[in-house]
Amino acid sequence: MTHGPRFPDLIARLPATVPFVGPEEQERASGHVLRARLGANESVFGPSPKAIAALQAADQEIWKYADPSHFELKTELSKRLGCGHGNIVFGEGIDGCLGYLVRLLVEPGDAVVTSDGAYPTFSYHVNAYGGVLHKVPYRDDAEDIAALFAKAAEVDAKIVYLANPDNPMGSWIDGATIEAALDDLPEGTVLALDEAYIEFAPEGTAPKIDPEDPRVIRFRTFSKAYGMAGARVGYAFGAEPLIKAFDKIRNHFSMNRSAQQAALAALLDDAWLAEVRGRVNSARERIAAIAEANGLTTLPSATNFVAVDCGGDGPHARAVLEGLARHGVFVRMPFVAPQNRCIRISAGTEADLDILAEELPKALAEARETVA
């Protein structure tokens, strides 16, 4: 008799789910091509032309394995971050780095703290390694750092996850507040500070923390402002003993040769980064104007997306989202009430936002009929 694989009990008990359904899958399900891709917080403005040139040049040597130490990229990053090579580790986007951190620190039954409705991939990793998630609600549509740290003390958490700026609401906490709050972080708890959107945030949002501070590990990415989401280039930086431990478990060849060269070129092109920031600012203003023209309000954002309050509850916002999808506009929404009264719209090109302006009134009208 042929038997199937013998899954560990933990894996067998996990639901067959993934954090996100991609727009490609939505297109296949509906049979329609999306006209405006405004849901995944990618940079529709793309990477630096210098990064594209570096990528194309490196492709000629794609037969070679990449440098698993990421020496050149670490050299440039260490200058900018004020740390050494030993303080930086790379992974498959922030998602991959978060997974490695959880694997390093969390055993079955260990407590981990996050916000209810925060970026779901972190929780996905915690569940996969048998950690016990403790969640605190948002306060005024923003992450509540005091409540997070208090809960960590209550449950003896191994990790506290905090995104700053936050996804899905776009809110942010100033760096000085985070610095002061560290005094309340329980001993033995590590703050996983997700800074995926830090390049879009106001000056002073990034806290000033010694890279060797063992209480904090910070995560950044080339997927957002640098426009390289498809390359899967993320990194973490923190105290050298923790970062060195990643070598025990990480995929040392997770980033391919071409992606390394493209990321380095992107990092060196500060002029392009400034241009992208300007375009994102303009897009956020346009999204707010479109929302206002339809009687909706928007939340302040320090990211490349805007949370739009649809003026009702979760089912109403879901109906708006589904209506937009039927009309070829891909957006997403928060998962948890009361934030799920909103939809989340990524910065787009003028053409993308013209389509949004055309289709949002139709989706709103259909949603009012659906939930009436």
Task: Give pLDDT tens digits for 74-92.
Answer: 999 999 999 999 999 999 9
Query: What is the strand order of the sheet 88-91 is part of?
Result: 88-91, 234-238, 216-221, 190-194, 159-163, 111-115, 132-136
Using one digit for the tens of pLDDT, what is the confidence trace for 37-62? Answer: 999 999 999 999 999 999 999 999 99
Radius of gyration of the chain (CA): 21
236: amino acid identity, one letter: A
The strand pairing partners of 330, in sequence order, are 37
User: Quick check: 27 pLDDT over 90?
Assistant: no
Run of H or E residues at 271:
helix 270-293
Q: What is the DSSP letter of 19?
A: S
* Closest among 26, 56, 20 to 41, alpha carbons compared: 20
Residues in the chain, total: 372
User: Quick check: 253 pLDDT over 80?
Assistant: yes
> Which pair of tokens denotes residue 173?
């906490």
Run of H or E residues at 208:
none
> Which pair of tokens denotes residue 171?
């809110």
Distance CA 180, CA 258 (A): 40
Using one digit for the tens of pLDDT, what is the confidence trace for 259-285? Answer: 999 999 999 999 999 999 999 999 999
Average pLDDT over residues 297-307: 98
Distance CA 331, CA 345 (A): 6
The torsion angles phi and psi of 199, rounded to 5 degrees, stand at: -65, -20
53: amino acid identity, one letter: A
Look-up: residue for tokens 């995104």? 163
User: Quick check: 355 pLDDT over 80?
Assistant: yes
* Closest among 164, 184, 160 to 174, alpha carbons compared: 164
pLDDT for residue 371: 66
Q: Are 305 and 333 in contact (CB under 8 A)?
A: no
Q: Are 292 and 68 in contact (CB under 8 A)?
A: no
Using one digit for the tens of pLDDT, what is the confidence trace for 175-226? Answer: 999 999 999 999 999 999 999 999 999 999 999 999 999 999 999 999 999 9
User: Quick check: 2 pLDDT over 70?
Assistant: no
Mean of the per-residue pLDDT values of the chain: 95
In the chain, the domains with their CATH numbers are: 20-46+271-371 (3.90.1150.10), 50-268 (3.40.640.10)
Q: Would you call 27 exposed, middle or buried from its count of C-beta atoms within 10 A (0-12, 13-18, 19+)?
A: middle
The torsion angles phi and psi of 103, rounded to 5 degrees, stand at: -60, -35
pLDDT for residue 15: 84
Percentage of the chain modeled with pLDDT above 70: 99
